[in-house]
């Protein structure tokens, strides 16, 4: 299968799974009870709601109709009740987006501006993530919160960088951090789905997903659902082995001028026991983990990031 056909297949699979997840009642259509033979909406119903021909919609799901217009994609997104992240993903999978997308992958490099941004958060847990969910840098509290059992210097070495998706599905310590692990797992998979739409030609990203499908049946099942999640704000309960249970917010911020890199900062409600626990974690963590500098992060390594 060539690249164009493969991306067309991904678009069709996404449409099909979203159609299967809706009922006629969801979109204001009559429900005919047991007479329905398909799960979710029929193809002709989606076509009717979107104002396109049934034959054209079938070709979209089959991956044979490429380069759908932005207007058609928006109509389909509305018909399928997609949220903003799903709508963006639909456009990313389309042929019109492929024509304008930069084919060259951006460079993952930690800059002085990023170091200043991390320092501005003081002792709040902070990590920098690439689009593949690789940890590019963390401060000492970010390391202690998310992966205190790993070498704090590992993000400075591209071949050893932790990958948060791999940790969530394959690392017992990380699984124990999240009492509601299924929620965290769904969010991780949904963010990887967005990444595949944005960077379909990234072989390292494809290799990561292939590895997780092979090694984790839970990942494979969630991946088949074609759900996407926005990188923005998420609330989790975390159970840390040192400071106990905390209710936190994980804020994900796009780093200006650094395509694909996001800063994740963790906060808790002011005056809460969770905030006290985060402060205690910062105070009891020995030493500060240095953020990579131009002296200890070779430019050549920056140009060839790993998905370790």
| Residues in Cβ contact with 213 at an 8 Å cutoff, skipping those fewer than 6 apart | 219, 220, 223
Just give the CATH number of 112-302: 3.30.450.180
CB neighbours of residue 7 within 10 Å: 23
Domain residue extents for the chain? 3-100, 112-302
CA–CA gap between residue 27 and residue 265 (Å, rounded): 37
Q: Which CATH superfamily is domain 3-100 in?
A: lambda repressor-like DNA-binding domains (1.10.260.40)
Q: pLDDT value at position 85? A: 76
pLDDT in tens, the chain (308 residues): 444 445 557 788 888 888 888 788 877 776 665 565 666 788 888 888 777 788 888 888 887 776 777 778 887 888 888 887 788 778 877 755 444 444 577 788 889 999 999 999 999 999 999 999 999 999 999 999 999 999 999 999 888 899 999 999 999 999 999 999 999 999 999 999 988 888 888 889 989 999 999 999 999 999 988 888 887 899 999 999 999 999 999 999 999 888 889 999 999 999 999 999 999 999 987 654 444 433 344 343 343 333 33
């Amino acid at each position: 299968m060539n690249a164009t056909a493969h991306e067309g297949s991904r678009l069709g699979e996404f449409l099909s799974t979203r159609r299967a997840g809706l009922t006629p009642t969801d979109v204001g259509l009559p429900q005919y009870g047991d007479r329905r033979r398909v799960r979710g909406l029929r193809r002709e119903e989606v076509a009717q709601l979107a104002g396109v021909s049934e034959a054209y919609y079938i070709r979209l799901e089959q991956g044979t109709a490429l380069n759908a217009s932005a207007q058609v994609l928006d109509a389909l997104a509305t018909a399928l009740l997609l949220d903003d992240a799903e709508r963006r993903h639909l456009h990313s999978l389309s042929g019109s987006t492929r024509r304008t997308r930069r084919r060259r992958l951006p460079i993952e490099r930690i800059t002085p501006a990023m170091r200043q941004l991390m320092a501005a958060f003081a002792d709040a847990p902070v990590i920098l993530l690439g689009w593949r969910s690789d940890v590019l840098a963390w401060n000492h509290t970010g390391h202690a919160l998310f992966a205190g059992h790993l070498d704090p210097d590992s993000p400075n070495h591209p071949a050893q960088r932790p990958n948060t998706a791999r940790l969530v599905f394959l690392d017992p310590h990380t699984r124990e951090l999240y009492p509601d692990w299924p929620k965290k797992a769904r969010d991780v998979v949904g963010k990887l789905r967005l990444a595949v739409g944005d960077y379909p030609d990234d072989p390292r990203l494809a290799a990561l997903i292939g590895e997780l499908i092979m090694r984790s049946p839970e990942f494979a099942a969630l991946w088949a659902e074609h759900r996407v999640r926005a990188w923005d704000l998420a609330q989790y309960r975390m159970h840390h082995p040192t400071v106990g249970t905390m209710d936190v917010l994980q804020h994900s911020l796009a780093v200006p001028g650094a395509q694909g890199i996001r800063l994740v900062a963790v906060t808790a409600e002011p005056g809460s026991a969770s905030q006290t626990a985060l402060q205690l974690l910062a105070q009891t963590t020995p030493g500060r983990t240095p953020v990579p500098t131009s002296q200890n992060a070779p430019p050549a390594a920056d140009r060839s990031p790993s998905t370790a």
